[in-house]
Amino acid sequence: MSLRLSTAPHVHNPVTTQRLMICVIIALLPCTAVGIYAFGLPALILVAVSCVSAVVFELLWQVIAHQEVRIKDCSALVTGLILGLNLPAAAPWWVAVIGSGFAILIVKQLFGGLGDNFLNPAMAARAVLLASWPVHMTHYVAPTFFAGTLGFDAVSTATLLVTKSAALQDLFLGNIPGTIGEVSKIAILAGFLFLLVTKTVSWRIPVVMVGSVALFSWAFGGDPLMAVLSGGVLFGAVFMATDYVTSPMTPWGQVIYAFMIGLIVTLIRQFGSYPEGVTYGILLMNICTPLIDRFLPRHIYGHVKTEGKKEAKQA
Amino acid sequence: MQKLTFRRGIHPLHGAHEGKLPTRNMPIEDYVSDSVTLIMSMNIGAPAVPCVKKGDQVKVGQVIGQASGFMSVPVHASISGEVTAVEQIPYLGPAPVMAVSIKNDFSDTWVDDLKPLGNVERVDPKLVIPAIRDAGIVGMGGASFPTHVKLTFREGAYCDTIIVNGAECETHLTADHRLMIENSERIVDGLRAVMRALNVEKGVIAIEDNKPEAIAAMEKAATGREGVRVQPMVTKYPQGGEKQLIEAVTGRQVPSGGLPIDVHVVVLNVGTCAAIADAVIDGKPLISRVTTVTGCVREPKNLRLRIGTIAEDAIGKCGGFSETPGKVFFGGAMTGLCLPNISVPTAKSTNGIVAFNEKESRSKDESPCIRCGRCVAACPIGLNPYQIKVAADAGNFELARKLHVNDCILCGSCAYMCPARRWLTPSFKFAKDKLAAEAKAKAAAAKAEQKGGKAQ
C-alpha cells in the first residue's frame, strides 16, 4: 500500500478560483438580461462578441506563449462580459473585439496573466476605447425594450450626466440611456446581493464607494441620490472596483481605496471635462493598490505593546 | 456565560461538522496491542537515551529511556514483556529515530516502586513538578514540549492564570472531548496540582461551544474546586492555538518570539492535565493516551492506546480500512503529519490517526494568486500570507522574515481558504526552517569567533 505524503493542511475550502468567477458571472446575469431586454439584439451581439473574443484571445496567448491553458478558470469570460456590458448598445462589434484584445493581451497577459495585472483589464480597455473612438463610445441610445424594431432607429440621447434629469423609477428599472450593463440599478443590486450571499466579495468596497460618491456630491452641492444612481457608479462599485486583483487585500485598505474612488469620481464629474469619472476613478486607485497594500500598517499578533511587556519594562 | 474568541480565523469543514461526527459519541475504549515501539524522541528537545537492551524483561511503567538533560523527559515501558529491539527506525521526519520495541506478555505487571503522592489538595507543592518530569509528561495537544520545562520559570517571571486547553479546534479529533466527558475529575485534579505547585489562583478550562456535553461535565467537576472555572469559547479554528487561546481568555498577546509566561499564562492541554493527575495521585508515568482513530476506517473509535502502539494495530482495532487509503496522518486535517506507512508507532502527542480515501487525498495543483485576500482575512496572527509566499517562493527569506513569517503559527488557515490552492503553509514552514537554520549557524559562528578571540 503506498500512501501519499503531503504537508498540512489536508483539507481545503471547496471555493476555487473558477467557482468565484462563475459566481461573478451569475451575479452579472440580471444586468445582462435587462441590458439585452432594454437594447435588443445589438446588445446581445455586442456582449456575445466581447465574451467570445476575450476567451479566444486568452486561449491564443496561452497556446502561443506555451503556457498552461487556463481558460477554464473563467477569468477571461468575466473580463469579456464586463467589457461588453460597459459598451453602449450602438457600438460596432469590432469595438468589442479590439477592447477584449487590449484587455486580455496588453493589460492582463503582458503583465504576467491572471493575478499580476495592475489595472482592471475591462476598465483599462474601456478607457482606451473611450479615448480612441469617443463617438462610438458615447453614442447612447434610449432603451427600446424590443418595441417593434431590432434596429437602431432609437433616438440618440445624451446620458443623464449630461441631461441631469430622469425619473427615479426609470433609473431603477433601466429605462434610461447608458451602457448595456449599467441601466438597471435593481439588476445591479440583485447581483450585489448574490455576491454578498455567496461571500464572493465583501460589502466594503461597493458600500464605501457609493457612500463616498454620495458624500462628496452632497459636499459639492449636488444631489447625492442622483449622483449614485446615474452613470456607472453602481455597476462600477459592485463589479469593477471589487476586482480582486486590482483592489487592496486588507479591510482598511479596501475602505481607503473605495473612499478615494468616490472622491475622484465626484471631482471628475464636477470639475473635469468628462461627464463620467467612474472608469478613471477606479483605474487611478488600481494604480495605488500596491502602495496601499504595502504601506498600510497592520496589527500583527504579539507586536503591539501588551500588559506583559509594560510590566517587564517596569521590573 | 459570554463566549470568548480571537480575531479572524476560519471554520474548516463547517458543513461536515469538522469531521468529528463519527466519533464524538464514541466512549473511550482501552486497547492493548501485541507489541509496542517506543521512540526515544517523543519530546521537543533532547531525545531520551535507551537504558534497556534486547532480551530484557520490562514491567509497565519501567524507565526504558533516560532523560538526557533539562529539555528531555524519560520514556517508560507502556506494556510488560520482553524487549525485542533497540534500534534506529524511520519516523515522520527525515532522520531515523532511536526506538525500543517490546513484545507483550499480557501479564500487565507494573513496576513496584510507584510513588503515589495522594490527594492533590494536600500534596507538598514542591513535589509536583519533579513528579511531572519523572512521569515523562509532555504537551499532549500535539506540541510535545516537556511539561516540567513549561512549569519552570526563569528568574522574575510569574504566572497568574493557568488555561486548560479543551478547545479541540482541529478537525476529526474527539479524543479531548471524550476525555473531558469521561475523566473530568482527573483533568481538574491535574489543574489543581499545577495551580498549587505554582501558587496560581486562577485556573480556566476553555472549551469550544460545539462540545456542550464536555462543558457540562467539566462544570460539574469544577464545582467546589478552588479558583477553577469553565469558559465556553466560540467554535472557530484555531481557537486551541496557544496564542489565540491566551488572547481570547485573558486579552493579552504573547509578544513576538516570546513565551506565554511573558504574559503570565501557562496553557496545558486537557490530556496533559489528566496525565499530571495520574502522575501525582497514583505516581503512574505517562504510558497511555486517548487517540481518535477515524476517517476511512470501518468503525471509527476513541481508543486509549498504550504509547508506542503501531498505527496499523490501532486501525485494525477499528475494523481496518473501509476503502483503500490514499493518505494517513497523525493529528487533525489542518496540521496533521503524514505517515510514510502504517507501521509507524504512536507517540505521546498522537491525538488522532486519520485515514483519507484516494479521493480526499488527491493533491491540488497551485494556480495563480488572484489576490482575493481570503488568506489575509483568515490569518489569526494578522499576517499578509500572499506577500510572504511571494518572498518565500523567490528564496528571499530575509524579506519573508521582515514580513514576520516567524510569527506564523503554521495553522493552515490561509492555505485552507485559498481558492487558488496555493501551498502557503508549506512555504512558510520551509522559510521558517531556513531562517532558524541560518540563525543557528550565525550564533555558532559568533560563538566560535568569541572563543577564538579568548584563546588569543
Q: What is the pLDDT, as a whole number, of residue A150? A: 40
- The C-alpha cell at B331 is 493529528
Report yes or no: A297 at the B interface, CB cutoff 8 Å.
no
pLDDT greater than 50 at residue A307: no
Residues whose CB falls within 8 Å of the CB of residue A127, separated by 6 or more in sequence, listed in order: A279, A280, A283
Report yes or no: B264 at the A interface, CB cutoff 8 Å.
yes
**Confidence tier at A172 by pLDDT (50, 70, 90):** low
Q: What is the pLDDT, as a whole number, of residue A174? A: 59
Contacts of B320 in chain A (CB under 8 A): none
Q: Give whole-number Cα distances, A223 to A188, A226, A230, A237, in Å.
A: 21, 5, 11, 18
- CA–CA gap between residue A310 and residue B335 (Å, rounded): 34
Question: What mean pLDDT is predicted for residues A192-204?
Answer: 94
Task: Render pLDDT for A35-71 as a digit per residue (tens, 0 to 9).
Answer: 888 888 889 999 999 999 999 999 999 999 999 999 9
- The C-alpha cell at B230 is 469553565
Unique residue bearing C-alpha cell 491535574: B190
Q: Does the ipTM surpass 0.90?
A: no
**Confidence tier at B287 by pLDDT (50, 70, 90):** very high
Question: What mean pLDDT is predicted for residues B304-309?
Answer: 94
H or E, element range at A156: strand A156-157
Residue A77 burial (CB count, 10 A): 20
Share of chain A above pLDDT 70, in %: 85
Q: What is the pLDDT, as a whole number, of residue A226? A: 83
Q: Do B13 and A302 touch (CB under 8 A)?
A: no
Q: Do B417 and B375 form a contact (C-beta atoms < 8 A)? A: yes
- The C-alpha cell at A190 is 440583485
Q: Do B255 and A307 touch (CB under 8 A)?
A: no
Domains of chain A listed by start with CATH number = 17-295 (1.10.3430)
Share of chain B above pLDDT 90, in %: 78
Task: Render pLDDT for B395-453 as a digit per residue (tens, 0 to 9).
Answer: 999 999 999 999 999 999 999 999 999 999 999 999 999 999 999 898 888 888 877 65
Beta strands in B296-351 (DSSP E): 301-306, 325-330, 337-338
| Cα dihedral B168/B171/B176/B180 (nearest 10) | 70
Distance from CA of B35 to the nearest CA of A (A): 22
Distance from CA of A22 to the nearest CA of B (A): 13
Report yes or no: A3 at the B interface, CB cutoff 8 Å.
yes
Q: What is the pLDDT, as a whole number, of residue A98? A: 95
pLDDT greater than 50 at residue A315: no
Task: Render pLDDT for B338-367 as a digit per residue (tens, 0 to 9).
Answer: 999 999 999 999 999 999 998 888 877 889
Task: Render pLDDT for A257-299 as a digit per residue (tens, 0 to 9).
Answer: 999 999 999 999 888 877 778 999 999 999 999 999 888 888 8
Max avg pLDDT among A92-106, A130-144, A295-309: A92-106
Of A5, A249, A315, the CB nearest to B376: A249
Task: Render pLDDT for B201-245 as a digit per residue (tens, 0 to 9).
Answer: 999 999 999 999 999 999 999 998 989 999 999 999 999 999 999
Q: Do B338 and A5 touch (CB under 8 A)?
A: yes
Residue of chain B whose Cα is closest to the Cα of A289? B371
Least confident span in A174-178, A196-200, B148-152, B188-192: A174-178
